[in-house]
Each structure stands twice: as C-alpha cells, then as structure tokens.
Structure 1
C-alpha cells in the first residue's frame, strides 16, 4: 500500500460554503456560464423530447445477494447496490452510502424516474448497518422509506448540515444523527470519515432549494482510502481533497446524468476522469448510472465514454455488476456488461 499523510479531522470554517442573505447554501467555486437546470425549456425537452435510448433494451444484470453471504464476506468488501448506493464492509461493520431502494427516484411512487433493476438485496434483508453516509437530500440519493426503516436498523447517520434535520423529522433518533460541514469528520471503530466539498445543490421541493448542504466523503480504513463523490460538477475542490487526503485506493465517482444544459452540477466523463486524477486515485469505479433515467444521454453512454477515456489515459477502471463483490484491497476490472444490452 502507498504511504499516507495523517488525516486531518480538524473543523475548519475556511472550507464552509458561504450562505447568502436568503439563507441558501452556496458553492465555494463561482459557477461557470450555462443554462439553468431549472429552466422550463429544459423540463419540456426532458418530458417530450427524450431520446428512445435512455433506458436499456433488456434487463440489467444483477447478482443477487443474501444476508448470510454478506455477513460471511471479508472486510474491505464493497458492493454496488444501484445508482449511488454502495454497501461497504469495514472493520466488521456495514456502511451504506446514499441508500435508495424505492422503485422511483421521485416524491411520489406513481410517477418519476423508474428503476431499471431491483436492488440485489431487499432493504429488509440487509445485515445490521453500522452507519449510513449521506451526500445530499435529492430523491435519487435520499429515500425517505429507506431512512425510516434504517432508523431502527442502523446505528449512526452521517450527514451534511441540514440533511440531518430531515432525518430527525423522519423519526431517526437524535443520538444517531451526526451533522457535518466541509472538512469536518469523525472517527468510529477505527475508521476516519470526513465530509469534503462538492459543487452541487440541494432541495426536495419548490421552496427549499439549497437550504441543506451537499458533500463528498473520504472514508479511511488505516492504509486503505476510498473517496465517495456524491454529486458534483467539476471544480478545484477535487485537487484540494487529493492534496489533503490522497492518494486514494478507490474513487467512487459520479459518471452519469450529465448534460450541456446543466454544466455546473454533474460531471461529463472527461471531467470525471480529471477529478479522479486530481484526487490522486488509483482505481476508478463509475457510479450514479445504470439504475435511473435522469438525463438525455443514452443509458450506457457514461460507461462507454469513461471506459474509452480510461484506456486513453492509462487509468485503472472497475465496472462490477450490480451486486458483485469488489475487493478494496485488490479491485478487479469487471466486465463491460452494458454492451450486451443495447
């Protein structure tokens, strides 16, 4: 393993996003010019002018999991359960990122983006969860039904400022909720977990935009370090995170739901690659794809583009099946499974 600098878990106001007079959170980096992702024209195109290839032609392959299998798995195992929901086994405990198990990433379950595949294991069949790690409060990252179940099944919830308040309103006990600003972290069971900057936005309705914070996360288990991007546009913060916490053994990087019409809040594959390089990452695992139809690009385009770019830049890419185990000590390449579906 690569030698590391020691983790700095001190709380720093320098990394906090500024708030406006209206109380909204702000990104640390000034936005690049581009059309607003809230424009009516964009919404019209999304509803009425969507290409026909934004959903797979056949079923997405899923490797089914059982609780017994997960409990028997060795430490430093990682499973992608779909979209940005990752299950990590570290130091004998299970950690979930952005748990979404609902059928639709939507405020209602009769409309909105529908899953391409079922989770490889049902929410009710998961082993006891040591902790839940949240990046922000959008519907494709924060599933109220899952949180209400995990309120009893999980021991701790790590959330950016304001997101934890939502959890409290949904019935998660106060003693389980820990809220963080950027560069703030906690040590639990010998793991160091730190909320780090991202460039995104937040909100679950028309009147709460940017009232809660968004973040990426650094997860450190001794000499093994994992970066979880959450959602983010490309910005200088990736290089700052890499200088402060890198190098990373595995980066779980947003690669999907991008568009030229919303350049500020999601990364195109070229930007994902550059962010991985900025972070001093070794193995890149593309996430935020393959589960929901959230953009105008072909459903498999993120996989194909990031695969081509990785080969061109000499970057080690890992694309495990949904539900397939990834060994964080020695991640395998995985298959180009998306090419079988069309």
Structure 2
C-alpha cells in the first residue's frame, strides 16, 4: 500500500472514529443522568415500593392473568428502525397551531392534545404541559418515528406554568424539549428520580418538584398529586426501574382531572377513585397493548373499567395515533374504545390533534373511521 492510500485510509478511520464518538456522546446525553446507587438507597430507603437491595422501584402489586392474556407476540427492538406496517397510509387530521392561535389568557378549563401522551391543560387560568414529545420516541433520529409532524412546535407554544412528566421513557420524556424549557420560567413536576435527568439537561434544581406516590405539589390554586401505576421506567438496558413512574391527580378551584400515565390495570384505580375522585375528566392511555405484557398498558375493555373505578364524567383517550409501539393497527385501539364507550354510555372526547377542547361544549367525532 502506497502512502496515498495509507493517508486516505487514515482519514477515513479518523472520520469514522469521530462519528462513533459523537454518536456515543449524543446517545449518552439523550439517556440523561440519574441518581447514583448510594444516593438512591439513602433517599428512598423508607419507601415501601422501593427495593434497596435491587436499587429499583416496584409496581404496587404483582398481577395474575390467565394464560390467554399472558401470551403474545414480542415486537422485537429492530422493528423500531423499520417503516411500520401498522402506520396510517395517509396523514392524520390535525389543526396546525402557531403561538398566535393560543389565547393571551389561558382558560379555566380547556385542553389541547398534540398526539400520543402530549397535552396542554388550561386550568384556573394557568397552563400545564404534560409529557411533551414533539419529535421521535428514541435516542437517535430514525428510531420510532412519528406518523406525522406534531400539530405544534415547542417554540410555538404559549408560556407554560408547569411542565409535568409521568415517567422517563423516550415517548414521554424528550431531551430536546426539556433543554428548551430549562431556562424558561417554568416549574417542573416529575416522579422520584427523574429530577436528576432534568438537572443534567440544565434545569435548575429549585425548579424541580420530585414526587412520591400520594405526595402533592401546589402551584397557586392548582394541587398536583402523584398517584400509583403498574408500569416500569428506564432509558437504557442498565437503568430499568431506577426512577419512579406516576399517574397524576390535578385539582383546580372547581375542576378535577385524572391523568393515568402509562399503566396496566389493577386495583390501584379503585383506590385512586376512592381517595381522589370523582373526576371531571380522565385522560387514559388506550394504545400499545399486547397480551405478552399485560402489566404495561391498558386493554380497551380495561379503559372502560378505569372510568368506573376513578368515577370520571368524561374519558379523554391518550397514548395513540403517533407511534407504533405494539403489534396492532394504529386505529384499532381508538375504534374499540369508542365502540365500548357507546355500549356503556361512557362520555368520550375524541378531538383531532391541535383542537381546543372544552368538555360539554366542543363537539368531537370519529375522525379516524375513514382513514
């Protein structure tokens, strides 16, 4: 090999090395920091649902399901790199929003759903942004891509008072969005352990409220209480369940909202209904169920049970129409839940993405049926 080829090979090797280092750093940054094992054990030792020996949070109970329900397909990780066969063939209806589309003064009771589990709640003249994800649901571009663009860019959102996170999975906690809000006048409410990730992305510690289950945070007239769920957490293969996951009870002057977070079905819903209900609206996750992992998400029939358990007037389905996370067609969940709601006289709100919704005032329809 002459010197020219050696030089070319050296340059190519250097470029590859730089790209590998840059990719590794990018992924590391996307994962984010977390408490050390020693800090975790000291901080959470007295919490009943924290196992100090394993350094893990645990679900409130182990569920026992029939054989039929605990068998199912495994999607496999590599599918997240491919075009989804379950994705819609056309763009989904949405109302594209800019900052000028939001009123200068927030409403006392209104909602905007931006796809999946991202929503803006207006309550008592304040704005709460929950699980804001505007890009993809993975640590690298091209992994778990959205079905379509978000109806709003994070830069076009109005001023936010409180930003809430239910857990640290990529489809609920987006690094770039947290970095964007890090220097804004925003309060952050997260489950235990998630605060370390936010601090690593530049959020000041005094702006972060970390909540255990049944612990509350007060923002002016709004009370936000974390509640249990049957799920898990983690952003890599080394940090499973090192942080907590949570549902939220959001109580204003006159209205009370339940936000389920990601969860399997268990008696915790009835306990939440007894402790905190009734609710004016329940935002309940409905998609990405699989018989192989029943403790991860709700099945359509369980969504209806949740409404009865928590004593909610309106069902607002979330966790749908944005990412392919299971093995069923994208609109199967919303069609099944809508049909069950009709049969059980469950009042349901199904706006298109970006539509301002006021329960009892805003008409919503079955926008998915002809797609």
Tell me the C-alpha RMSD between the 2 structures.
2.3
CA drift of 1:154 comes to 4.5
Q: Which aligned pairs between 1:104-253 and structure 2 lie closer than 5 A?
A: 104-109=136-141, 111-253=142-284
| TM-score between both structures, scaled by the size of structure 1 | 0.88
Corresponding residue SS for 1:338? coil
Shift in CA distance, 318/331, structure 1 to aligned 2, threshold 3 Å = farther
2: CA distance, partners of 1:70 / 1:59: 24
Give per-residue Cα distances to partners, 1:286-309, cap 9 Å, x unaligned.
100001111100100011000111
Matches within 5 A, 1:24-63: 24-32=56-64, 42-44=74-76, 47=79, 53-63=85-95
8 Å Cα contact 1:91-1:189 kept in structure 2:
no
CA displacement 1:245-287 (0-9 Å, x = unmatched): 1111100000001110111110111111101110001100110
Matched with 2:29 is: none
Alignment TM-score, normalising by the size of structure 2: 0.82
User: What residue is the counterpart of 2:39 in the other structure?
Assistant: none
By how many angstroms is 1:46 displaced?
7.0
Runs of 5+ in structure 1 lacking a partner? 1-12
In structure 2, how many angstroms separate the alpha carbons of the residues matched to 1:19 and 1:154?
A: 35
1:334 matched to 2:364? The reply is yes
Count matched residues: 321
**Secondary structure of the structure 2 residue equivalent to 1:337:** coil
Is residue 83 of structure 2 the alignment partner of residue 71 of structure 1?
Answer: no
After alignment, is 151-160 or 198-207 more displaced? 151-160
Higher relative contact order (CA 8 A, sep 6+): 1
Distance of 2:60 and 2:112 partners within structure 1: 32
SS in structure 1 of the partner of residue 339 of structure 2? helix
Structure 2 residue matching 1:285: 3-state secondary structure: strand
Q: Is the 8 A contact 2:121 2:127 kept in 1?
A: yes
Query: In terms of mean alpha carbon deviation, does 19-28 or 252-261 score higher?
Result: 19-28
Matched residues in 2 for 1:43 and 1:78: separation?
33
**Which segments of 5 or more consecutive residues in structure 2 lack a partner in the other structure?**
1-44
State whether residues 20 and 26 of structure 1, in contact with CA within 8 Å, keep that contact through their aligned partners in structure 2: no
Q: Does 1:282 align with 2:313?
A: yes
CA distance in 2, matches of 1:20, 1:201: 16
* Structure 1 residue 16: Cα displacement: 4.9
What SS does the corresponding residue of 2:304 show, helix, strand or coil?
Answer: helix
Aligned to 2:339: 308
What is the SS of the residue equivalent to 1:283? strand
Instruction: Provide the residue aligned with 1:86 in structure 2.
Output: 119
Query: Is residue 31–residue 264 contact of structure 1 (8 Å, CA) maintained in 2?
Result: yes
CA 1:148–1:287 in structure 2 vs 1: closer, same or farther (change >3 Å)? same
**1:325 maps to which of 356, 360, 366:** 356
Does structure 1 conserve the Cα–Cα contact (< 8 Å) formed by 2:116 and 2:321?
A: yes
> Quick check: 2:230–2:264 contact (8 Å CA) kept in 1?
yes
Secondary structure (helix, strand or coil) at the match of 1:68 reads: helix
Deviation >6 Å, runs of 4+: none
- Whose Rg is larger? 2
Q: What is residue 23 of structure 1 aligned with on the other side?
A: 55
**Does the aligned pair in 2 maintain the 1:16–1:182 contact within 8 Å?**
no
Report the CA distance between 1:47 and its aligned residue: 2.8
- Matched position secondary structure for 2:313: strand
